[in-house]
Amino acid sequence: MAGRAYRLSIALAVCLAAPAHAENTGLDRLTLRSDLLGWEAVGRLDTGNGGFCTGVLVASDLVLTAAHCLTDAQAAGHVDNLRFRAGLRDGEAVADSGVARAVMHPDYAPANGVSAQNLRRDVALVQLAAPIPTGMAAPFLVEGLPRPGEAVSVVSYASGRAEAPARQAVCTVRGRQAGLLAFDCDVTFGASGAPVFDVSRQRARIVSLVSSGGPSGYGTLAFGMELPARVDELKQALRTGRGVFPDRAFTARRIKVGDRGSSGARFVRP
């Protein structure tokens, strides 16, 4: 799995990467409440057994994250271990909630690992048991991808910085092709599902999610997907019940998806 994923990352890097590197401004830990202002809707999605991903509110009761973060919950057929902690920093969250139900993109296939098709569909929605008031954590809108060469920003939790979010204020879209996005943001285990923001407007908008990443000949690259159509498809699935779990008609089917580390994130080890 890891070897195949690494080869895929290199292949995508070659076809997507832009010729020049952007200046990397590094990560800023959002430690103080004032640091977190405006980013409260980004939170840590705890998945059980010490694992976690990053998620972001797109409605008061809907959290957008990576589909591969939910494979264990889907296989178990329940969401008992899932909990979203908005704006979590050093043990204190702006708000937190358990999960009522969840849905992975219907075309995401865990058994296929880190394939280009899965990267395009590595999106999921988690419906919270209790909505989080917008006055506490205002959801973000989703829009289309920026052009290659434009700046984006990422807010994420990750291994080694699980207790507070970190923001990389500026990284760069390195390329875009067939629904895939490559960018040079600093991400690692736990950053799966982290929102990639276009910050060119007064209010940031989500343009992609972190799905996978790793080192390449162009430096560390992360990969995401086009979101608007995927999010619309997930909302439709929630309305119709297609693929939603838990469900009374759901039959648990365990799928071996390989070693994802303690966070469940699909990141590449060279």
Type of residue found at 34: S
Per-residue model confidence (pLDDT) at position 202: 87
Type of residue found at 255: I
Per-residue model confidence (pLDDT) at position 1: 38
Per-residue model confidence (pLDDT) at position 78: 95
Q: Locate all alpha helices (DSSP H) within 1-89, ordered by sequence.
A: 2-16, 33-36, 71-76
The structural domains of the chain, ordered by start, are 2-247+262-266 (2.40.10.120)
Per-residue model confidence (pLDDT) at position 266: 57
Separation of alpha carbons 142 and 209, rounded Å? 10
Global pTM value: 0.84
Question: Mean pLDDT per 10-residue run, the chain (270 residues)?
Answer: 44 41 68 96 95 97 97 95 98 97 95 88 98 97 84 93 95 89 87 94 94 77 93 96 78 36 43
Separation of alpha carbons 119 and 108, rounded Å? 8
Per-residue model confidence (pLDDT) at position 59: 98
104-109 contacts at long range (C-beta below 8 A, 24 or more positions apart)? 104/67, 104/70, 104/71, 104/74, 104/243, 105/67, 105/230, 105/233, 105/234, 105/237, 106/233, 106/237, 106/242, 106/243, 108/67, 108/68
Q: How many CB atoms lie within 10 A of CB 134?
A: 13
Contacts of 124 (CB under 8 A, 6+ apart): 64, 65, 66, 67, 69, 70, 102, 103, 104, 105, 108, 193, 234
Per-residue model confidence (pLDDT) at position 10: 43
